[in-house]
Amino acid sequence: MIANAGLSVGTDPALEEDLSVLQEILDVNLCGMAKTFQPFIGGMKQARKGMLVGIASVAGYRGVPGTSAYCASKAAAIAYLESLRVELRESGVRVLTVCPGYIDTEMTTGNPYPMPFLMNAERAAAKVASAIERRREFVVIPWQMAAIAKLLRILPNAIFDRALSRTPRKPRRAR
């Protein structure tokens, strides 16, 4: 079972109306994944086989300005999938966390910032299929994004903050 829910729009934490956008993003990106998996987990456990594949994002590694809701939802998705992986390990049900970088979709169209290693959707899907076939537990695609994400994760806050404070923001949803 593959859960590939994703919603990303820019948010402004100073605006009360963006609290509902935050809630919507969490509902789709995290709760949507849980609601997709839930009907299948019992049967998979009983059969002692199956695989849950959750599409998270490298955005879950570190918070990026202007996309706080998206980053938070994908960080939560990574933790949720990790918990499931450990919880279901003895049952025979496998869990794969996929953290893509930038994929050329409607969600990335119009992003006002550089998108290194932008990958088309067909190539990304092939990489996910390969990870499933190889029975992986965690994969970042493309692999180059893993190096960037890990580097950003270990940067001291002062350097990270300076480097990203002036980056262009993802546009807010038109109301």
Show which residues are catalytic: 70
**Cα 163 to chain centroid, rounded:** 22
Q: How far apart are CA 54 and CA 3, in angstroms?
A: 5
> Whats the size of the chain, residue-wise?
175
**Cα 24 to chain centroid, rounded:** 15
User: Which two tokens mark 9?
Assistant: 């729009």
Which of 122, 129, 103, 125 is CA-nearest to residue 51? 129
